[in-house]
Structure 1
Amino acid sequence: MTTADPTAVRSPAREGQDGLQRVFSRPRWFRGAGRDWADVWRYRELLSNLVRKELKVKYKDSVLGFFWTLVRPLLQLLVYSVAIGIFLGSGKQIPEFGIYLFTGLVAWTLFTDIIGGSTGSIVSNAGLVKKVYLPLELFPFSVVGASAVNFVLQLVVLLGAYVVTGTWPAPGDLFLVPLALLVLVLFATALGLILAAANVYLRDVQYLVEVGLLLWFWMTPIVYDWTKVQQNLQGAHEWLFQLYMANPMTNVVLAFQRALWPGGRTEQGAPFYYDGNLELRLAVVGAVSLVLLWFAQRVFARAQGNFAQEL
């Protein structure tokens, strides 16, 4: 043999026989995806344990525990409510401005928790990656599970806001919440898998993600209403508005606002109510996200062979 095969190692069972045993071969693009997902399903009990580990480690030795999950969105809500709602006067224009803000923030927080946590999930579990075999997709998926638990806790705060204000969302639009949530999770998980793999090879990725999410936040109608973008991009810049509306998180946030913001009821004549076909838009984004998830998993599967070496 004149060249060494980088995907082969000496087999302990054939010690002294100059035998090499292949332990990893780069998977093909269109084969093996079903086997990989089946492998993840077989390890579902381990996945649930990893989710619990994510939740416990995050608040280990913390006095307030899971309450810290609510601190960031509540602090953001307070800051934006004062700065934008009072000082800039948006609170006078948008009814139930606090709930309007929180419906967008709760969706955005879930998105950033999945993206940010998934990006560093392989690196932060380097010890397990190098020592034992398990489907490495479990680490980003455990972040998704832990983020979903935090999301449910934040919805309790939103429920409390309804009780305090005495206003409730229209039941006819509530079906948009699970649809938008599914789209968000599919899209964020796909990005998380790609970023988790990239971060193993280039640690600057985690810092680029922080900057990218900050820019993305302001390109999503959370602290302002979408009509301002439409008004400023009319005419020659109409294509920019269509590009803005193609942002998956724009559609998710608009769906959350329509479903969970009491001030968005059409019968109240709220000017910031988005009356477009959100069901169709979310279906399209969901289909694209599903394809992206398949692509992300194949990229992850092809890259994971060198994870242990890079770590």
Structure 2
Amino acid sequence: MSEESLSLGAGATSVRVVSARVGLPTRLANLWRRRELLRNLISSDVQIKYKGSALGLLWSMLAPAFTLGIYYLVFSVFLKNGYPNYVIFLFSGLIVWNLFQNAVNVSTSIIVDRAGLVKKVSFPREILPLASVGAAVVFWLIQMVVLVLFLVIFHHAPDWGMLLLLPVTFAALYLFTAAVAIVMSALTVYLRDIKHLMEVLLQLWFWLSPVVYSYSNSIAPALHRHGLAAIYFINPMSLIVLTFQRTFYNATTVTSTLSGQPLHMLPTWSVGTFVALNVGLLIVAAVVFLLALVVFGRLEGNFESEL
């Protein structure tokens, strides 16, 4: 909180006025100073999620593996899409989406769920949604282990050059996810229906992102023919998912296992194009994250009265 001195006149006592409005530099500095609290909350969120469970963190592997199996049966077995090594293509995009979806779902109501803590303890409130994002990252790392196992089982090598780009892509994913989480957590304090609305929107968002289908089966090629390809990438998850798929699936055009015809699974961009697009996305994500902190700061002043 910022403080300023208010003089009540000659001979009067000077009173400190505490303002709920905190400038962005101060807000960032407060987050850095309370990073130990953030780590503790992340650890607590991870432990609470599977508290009392016999399998514990193994559910972080089993749950996405089960989802993967369903999508594989639907698209590869029943609908016969003919995608070779579809498990790797699907899972490399699915774990990215899982991180985003899980973080946003939990963080949307996190301030309402922790109302007692928010009203009684003084700390940067945006740490709560950031902790939810951090816990989602922990589960994502566990799922990455499963992806590596799939690569070994299927004798499928990733694109080693693209691997060097993943830290940039992940940073963009983290900042964008954190921005959405921070804003939604604040809005839900004032309108509790936001949580249910986000659950619906995330389902729609999933199908607008190229997780389960190839790039050629998306609307991107049609938009590209009309010079409108940029519209497809207004959704930041599109580029993030495509980058992870390009890295681990390591193919742009493959041969259908059914028809023997070529399938355009991913954009035929050069590594340099992926680098340029991801660096641009990282810059945009950083700006959006900072704007999210500003919005949060403008909304948090009345949290106590609304909770």
TM-score range for the pair, normalised by the shorter chain length = 0.7 to 0.9
One-letter amino acid matched to 2:17: R
Q: Is the 8 A contact 1:111 1:188 kept in 2?
A: yes
User: What SS class does the counterpart of residue 233 from structure 1 fall into?
Assistant: helix
3-state SS of 2:264 partner: coil
List gaps (5 residues or longer) in structure 2. Answer: 1-11, 256-261
How far 1:235 moved relative to its partner?
Answer: 8.1
The 3-state SS of whatever aligns with 2:42 is helix
Aligned match for 1:66, one of 28, 34, 57: 57
TM-score by length of 1: 0.86
CA offset at residue 34 of structure 1?
1.0
Unaligned runs of 5+ in 1: 1-16
SS at structure 2 position matched to 1:223: coil
Q: In structure 2, what is the equivalent of residue 281 of structure 1?
A: 277
Say if 2:178 is the partner of 1:189.
yes
| Structure 1 equivalent of residue 3 of structure 2 | none
Q: Which residue of 1 aligns with 2:33?
A: 42
Q: Work out the CA distance in 2 between the residues paired with 1:19 and 1:309.
A: 28
Report deviation, 1:242. 3.4
* 2:129 aligned partner: 140
Distance 1:186 1:34 in 2: 17
1:215 shift after superposition: 0.3
| Percent of pairs with identical residues | 36
* Matched residue type, 1:23: V
The verdict on how the C-alpha distance between 1:273 and 1:235 changes in structure 2, with shifts beyond 3 A counting, is: closer
Could you say which residue in structure 2 is the equivalent of 1:9? none
Q: Distance in 2 between matches of 1:243 and 1:290?
A: 20
Distance 2:159 2:139 in 1: 24
What do residues 239-276 of structure 1 show as CA deviations (whole Å, max 9, x unaligned)? 3x5312332000000000111114x1679986323223
Post-superposition CA distance 1:206-227 (Å, at most 9, x none): 1111111100000011110111
What amino acid is the match of 1:284? Answer: G
1 CA distance for matches of 2:91 and 2:274? 20
What SS does the corresponding residue of 1:180 show, helix, strand or coil? helix
**How many positions carry a matched residue from both structures?**
289
Aligned match of 2:79: 88
Pair 78,267 (structure 1): closer, same or farther in 2 beyond 3 Å: closer
Distance, in Å, in 1 between the alignment partners of 2:36 and 2:56 is 24
Cα RMSD, aligned residues only: 2.5
Tell me the amino acid that sits aligned with residue 295 of structure 1: L
| Counterpart-to-counterpart distance in 2, 1:129 and 1:167 | 48
| TM-superposed deviation, 1:282 | 1.5
- Out of 287, 290, 293, the position equivalent to 1:297 is 293
Identify the match of residue 254 of structure 1 among 242, 257, 265: 242
* Contact in 2 for aligned 1:170/1:265 (Cα 8 Å): no
**In 2: Cα distance, 1:265 partner to 1:295 partner:** 36
Q: Any conservation in 1 of the 2:133–2:181 contact (CA below 8 Å)?
A: no
TM-score normalised over the length of structure 2: 0.87
In 2, Cα distance between the equivalents of 1:190 and 1:237? Answer: 32
Task: Give the distance between the partners of 2:109 and 2:14, measured in 1 at CA.
Answer: 37
Alpha-carbon distance between aligned partners in 2 of 1:101 and 1:64, rounded to the nearest angstrom: 25
In 1, the alpha carbon distance for the partners of 2:177 and 2:205 equals: 13
Give the SS at the match of 1:23: strand
Other-structure match for 1:78 = 69
Is the 8 Å Cα contact of residues 104 and 177 (structure 2) preserved in structure 1? yes
8 Å CA contact 1:176, 1:256 repeated in 2: no
Structure 1 CA distance, aligned partners of 2:197 and 2:172?
24
Cα distance, 1:170–1:270 mapped onto 2, change above 3 Å: farther
Match of 1:198 in 2: 187
Q: How does 1:169-184 map to 2 (within 5 A)?
A: 169-184=158-173
Closer/same/farther in 2, CA of residues 297 and 257 from structure 1, 3 Å limit: same
Q: Is the 8 A contact 1:110 1:147 kept in 2?
A: yes
Who is 2:18 aligned against? 23
Q: Please tell me whether residue 271 in structure 1 is matched to residue 264 in structure 2.
A: yes
SS at match of 1:252: helix
Deviations 1:38-78 (A, max 9, x none): 11111111111111110111111111111121233112110
